[in-house]
Structure 1
Amino acid sequence: MRKLNFYFLFLVLAFLTSCRTDEIIVRQEVVEGLPSENTAIKGFYMLNEGNMGSNKCTLDFFDYTKGTYYRNIYAEINPNVVKELGDVGNDIKVYGSKLYIVVNVSNKIEVLDAKTAKRITSIPLQNCRYLAFKNGKAYASSYAGPVAINPKAPKGKVVEIDTASLSIQREVVVGYQPEEMEIVGNQLFVANSGGYKAPDYDNTVSVIDLNTFTELKKINVAINLHHIKKDNYGDLYVTSRGDYYNVPSSLYLIDAATGTVKKDFHLSVSEMTIVNDKLYFYGNEFNYNTHSYKKTFGIIDVKTEQIIANRIFDKEYEDAIKTPYGIAVNPITEDIYMTDARNYVSMGFLYCFDKNGHFKWKTEGGNIPAHFAFLYK
């Protein structure tokens, strides 16, 4: 009788577990009837970060040629991958024939076939953050330590990955908690945040020589750096998140050749993208003193280094988008894409606007839709 009870209990638990699994796994969904177009770009991938600890990082794809949005494609294309993509998708880029996805808390870079999204391999890298590419090499930033606030956290690093063998070749130590990177000429620029060491943030951009793979110098900019983007005129735009109390976030302009900080725009910038000499940005700055967020939007002409607009789409959508989180601009049509993470728990939204900022369409994404990668035909 005791054995029978244990057996019955096992069956009940197995049934409940299977039901629970069915509840939390999001199956692929298809949204048809969105505007289609025929250009050199096939479509774009959308990486949904997923709330930390929830293992809800998912991958979507919008097919321009069909006007069809495919939601959560990874699990169906790669049914044998345990735990699917993983926990917290932090960056996504297409390079050559491959699609690279940084899954931060799962400590790995997933490598997929860019056209089919079929998994090729996974590259282990602790607390990995962002990617950059040049001459057949991928460069990935890493906090080089566990995911935890720690004043004694180690310095971070950048690793070099051969895109043919998909193996790590070299690594170099940089600043604390390195974030986004850009390559200008033969130098790699890394924005260091020091986020784990708050309030003792890092305030530097590390400059790496790609030949020797050594750190040449550090450029002092501002505390808690995050994003970095290059323009076509030898400059770098770098964002600082401030300290969330008394030091505001801002956007800085650096001369890449000299390392000189040329300008402080005094703008809150959470994310940005540069397309056709225009820097599109949004800010969603949180302050602990007021326990409130402040949203900003705008466009900078990177040739003149001047702000040319204080919005990027119609005013009503600035209010409708509760938590702006991801931004991208189609380099051919200049259509603008903005995501809304809402409350970070529910499914988010993806909005599309034309180049003049007028609404075109909207669809639901995954949990915290965040990062874009355009796929050319």
Structure 2
Amino acid sequence: MKNKYLHLITTTVLLCILASCRKDGGQLPSEEEQVGGGSTGKIKGLYVVNEGNMGSNKASLDYYDYATGIYKRNLFGETNPGIVLGLGDVATDVAIYGAKMYVAVNGSNLVEVMNARTAKHINTIKVPNCRYLKFYQNKVYVTSYDGYIAVADTGSLTVQTTIKVGRQPEQMAVVGTKMYVANSGGYTPSNYDRTVSVIDLNTSTVIKNIEVAINLDHIVADQYGDVYVTSRGDYYNISSKLFVIDTKTDAVKKQFDIPAGEIAINNDLAYIYSVEFNYNTGVNKTSYTLLDVKTETLLNRSFITDGTEKDIKTPYGLAIDPISEDIYLTDARDYVSSGMLYCYDKTGRKKWSVTTGDIPAHFAFLYQ
């Protein structure tokens, strides 16, 4: 079942029970592994953030070096041995802006800021219940499950203002001078939020709330002025769906009745996977889908083409290399032990896989 820590109170409790089976509480030992053949280009490497189980302070940072083909685990812990609790408790997002890398650490109520090239700690930004990150004109925007977005200066690393949005906001997308925020209402499953908040970034005010569907989560912009937003449904009788918002009219223009968990867009392709769990049946249904965002049509094929999707137990994170179009997909497996990272080429054939930290989920590409 695909969950990013606080999607449902009942799911959170379930993960707590699972996490309690792991007693060691320590970080994954630092380790390097040769997985790729090595390559050079505009991208220097790929950071992978592992969420870690709630309450265990086991969030961790891995790094794949494109030039050497070496995958290094627990980079933050090795680089910053003086930080006793490591990266912290439940990391929910990572992003690079300028020379700094930012990691939202939900359970620790902070954004960890480090040097993007060395992973050396610089400072932290206090944001209670922080979730996801987005940047605009030297500001970092951080969604808080407390119902607002914290806006911090990327120079001083201090929160300058907050913007009240919907209940339990998740991801954000920026198109022009507007930001679109997916509101979930995940704390109240009997009364989910149904809106996408639209923020005027020039005034830091909400100018509209678009009615979409219940329990919204991921939201991604394409190159044609549309944003794609996923609805997780209610895990009982209402299924997951995908919606398209036209940012010129700020209205829903299309609905795809497909399971939609994570979505990543590169050029004209949207890569979508879903692990849709139903409490009535107790069954997980996993799917991998491709969608042409230019024509807004579903393609009748998976983005994994060699049959190796059978090796993946719990797909949990997705990223597309914008240059090579390699596909990176993580597997959280049982949410308790170490996960896996799979790399596929642009045709959907597996290139390599590697063991990660616990619950690998989020990616940031480091450029030369």
Q: CA deviation at 1:27?
A: 2.2
Distance in structure 2 (CA, Å) of the matches to 1:91 and 1:245: 27
Report the counterpart of residue 361 of structure 1 in structure 2.
352
Cα deviation 1:130-183 (Å, max 9, x = unaligned) = 111111111111012xxxxxxxxxxx0011111111111111110000000011
Contact 2:306-2:350 at 8 Å conserved across structures: no
Report the counterpart of residue 90 of structure 1 in structure 2.
92
Contact 2:95-2:364 at 8 Å conserved across structures: yes
Report the counterpart of residue 41 of structure 1 in structure 2.
43
Q: Does 2:325 match 1:334? A: yes
The 3-state SS of whatever aligns with 2:108 is coil
Report the counterpart of residue 160 of structure 2 in structure 1.
169
Contact 2:214-2:232 at 8 Å conserved across structures: yes
Count of residue pairs brought into register by the alignment: 347
- Structure 2 matches for 1:23-38, cutoff 5 A? 24-38=26-40
Q: Which amino acid aligns with 2:176?
A: G
The 3-state SS of whatever aligns with 1:322 is coil
The 3-state SS of whatever aligns with 1:102 is strand
Contact 2:277-2:285 at 8 Å conserved across structures: yes
Given candidates 269, 275, 282, the residue that maps to 2:273 is 282
Q: Which amino acid aligns with 1:314?
A: T
Report the counterpart of residue 307 of structure 1 in structure 2.
298
Report the counterpart of residue 64 of structure 1 in structure 2.
66
Per the alignment, do residues 78 and 266 of structure 1 end up closer, same or farther by CA in structure 2, a change over 3 Å counting?
same
Distance in structure 2 (CA, Å) of the matches to 1:136 and 1:277: 28
Contact 2:148-2:169 at 8 Å conserved across structures: yes
Q: Which amino acid aligns with 1:127?
A: N
Contact 2:28-2:73 at 8 Å conserved across structures: no
Distance in structure 2 (CA, Å) of the matches to 1:160 and 1:22: 37
Q: CA deviation at 1:308?
A: 1.8
Q: Which amino acid aligns with 1:58?
A: S
Cα deviation 1:304-342 (Å, max 9, x = unaligned) = 111124311135222110100011111111111111110
Per the alignment, do residues 139 and 33 of structure 1 end up closer, same or farther by CA in structure 2, a change over 3 Å counting?
closer
Q: Which amino acid aligns with 2:321?
A: N
Q: CA deviation at 1:32?
A: 1.9
Distance in structure 1 (CA, Å) of the matches to 2:23 and 2:231: 40
Q: Does 2:216 match 1:214? A: no
The 3-state SS of whatever aligns with 1:199 is helix
Per the alignment, do residues 135 and 356 of structure 1 end up closer, same or farther by CA in structure 2, a change over 3 Å counting?
same
The 3-state SS of whatever aligns with 1:195 is coil
Given candidates 198, 201, 204, the residue that maps to 2:189 is 198
Q: Gaps spanning 5+ residues in structure 2: where?
A: 1-21
- Structure 2 matches for 1:7-22, cutoff 5 A? none
Distance in structure 1 (CA, Å) of the matches to 2:27 and 2:129: 25
The 3-state SS of whatever aligns with 2:174 is strand
Contact 2:148-2:162 at 8 Å conserved across structures: yes
RCO higher in 1 or 2 (8 Å CA, sep ≥ 6)? Answer: 2
Report the counterpart of residue 3 of structure 1 in structure 2.
none
Q: CA deviation at 1:185?
A: 1.2
Q: Which amino acid aligns with 1:261?
A: V
Per the alignment, do residues 174 and 23 of structure 1 end up closer, same or farther by CA in structure 2, a change over 3 Å counting?
closer
Report the counterpart of residue 101 of structure 1 in structure 2.
103
Given candidates 274, 298, 313, the residue that maps to 2:289 is 298
Distance in structure 1 (CA, Å) of the matches to 2:364 and 2:201: 25
Of stretches 309-318 and 350-359 in structure 1, the one that deviates more from structure 2 is 309-318
Report the counterpart of residue 10 of structure 1 in structure 2.
none
Contact 2:28-2:357 at 8 Å conserved across structures: no
Distance in structure 2 (CA, Å) of the matches to 1:359 and 1:227: 26
Q: Gaps spanning 5+ residues in structure 1: where?
A: 1-19, 145-155
Distance in structure 1 (CA, Å) of the matches to 2:359 and 2:156: 32
Distance in structure 2 (CA, Å) of the matches to 1:318 and 1:33: 19
Report the counterpart of residue 243 of structure 1 in structure 2.
234
Distance in structure 2 (CA, Å) of the matches to 1:263 and 1:162: 36
Q: Which amino acid aligns with 1:288?
A: Y
Distance in structure 2 (CA, Å) of the matches to 1:294 and 1:23: 31
Given candidates 137, 143, 146, the residue that maps to 2:145 is 143
The 3-state SS of whatever aligns with 1:211 is coil
TM-score (norm 1): 0.90
Report the counterpart of residue 351 of structure 1 in structure 2.
342
- Structure 2 matches for 1:240-279, cutoff 5 A? 240-279=231-270
What CA RMSD, in Å, does the superposition of the two structures yield over aligned residues?
1.4
Distance in structure 2 (CA, Å) of the matches to 1:199 and 1:303: 36
Contact 2:49-2:94 at 8 Å conserved across structures: yes
Over the matched positions of the two proteins, sequence identity in percent amounts to 52
Distance in structure 1 (CA, Å) of the matches to 2:138 and 2:279: 44
Q: CA deviation at 1:211?
A: 1.6
Contact 2:27-2:60 at 8 Å conserved across structures: no
Q: Which amino acid aligns with 1:308?
A: L
TM-score (norm 2): 0.92
